Amino acid sequence: MATIGLEDLSDEVLMRRVQNDDPDAFGQLYDRHSARGFSVALSVCRNTHLAEEALQEGFLSIWRGRSTFGPQNGSSFRGWAMTTIRNRAIDQHRRRSTRPQASSVAVEDLPAASSRSALDEAMERSGHKALDDHLGRLPEAQAEVITLAYFGGMTHTEIAEELDLPAGTVKGRIRLGMEKLRRDLRRGDSD
């Protein structure tokens, strides 16, 4: 009989083990999701050093809050983790804006994306705090899929698989959320 290793277990099974204080299961989750988490943090912080700190703080928050996670709240581990990391990145970004930091390699130095979205416009016009405010006005289901798509770099198909939703539902939530963001931005321009 073959032995099942941690790498073969689903995120949810690993998380149940983490909730029983299994550091090896937590390490497996970190190994599995840290690269995507770093991308999420970097897209918010726009600074590699701050993104690394946000990633570490995010996983520390996940460890400390492990008892609060449960599939019954409708969130996948990946969605919950990326939201937690994004929130830590926003905190890092806000702290940075209140005190000068030594510069590191910034996202501005990287090639720009070819298409502009409502999220790009929001960041350009208002900064990351305003973007967080705009996302906070969306229904949670729409904010979650937009966060996974934009900050997590996931495709519609990956999000659908992760959240166990039809791809059409994911696309619809993203479309509706982006329309609400655009309307919110237009309202802000007329103020």
94 shares a domain with 119? no
What is the domain extent for residue 79? 8-110
Q: Does any domain span residue 100?
A: yes
- Among 61, 94, 110, the domain boundary falls at 110
Q: Along the 191 residues of the chain, how does pLDDT read in single tens digits?
A: 556 788 889 998 999 999 999 999 999 999 999 988 988 888 887 788 888 999 999 999 999 999 888 766 666 888 888 889 988 988 887 777 654 444 333 333 333 333 345 555 555 544 555 666 777 788 878 887 887 787 777 788 888 887 778 889 989 988 898 888 888 877 765 55
Residues 58 and 46 placed together within one structural domain of the fold = yes
Kindly report the pTM of this predicted structure: 0.56
CATH number for position 123:
1.10.10.10
Instruction: Identify the three-state secondary structure at position 106.
Output: strand
Q: Which residues contact 8 (CB under 8 A, 6 or more apart)?
A: none
Assigned domain for 120 exists: yes
Does residue 2 belong to any structural domain of this protein? no
Considering its fold, how many domains does the chain have in total? 2
Q: Is residue 89 domain-shared with residue 24, that is, in the same domain?
A: yes
Quick one: 16 and 105 in the same domain? yes
Tell me the backbone φ, ψ of residue 117, rounded to 5 degrees: -115, 175
Among 9, 6, 28, 25, smallest CA distance to 17 is for: 25
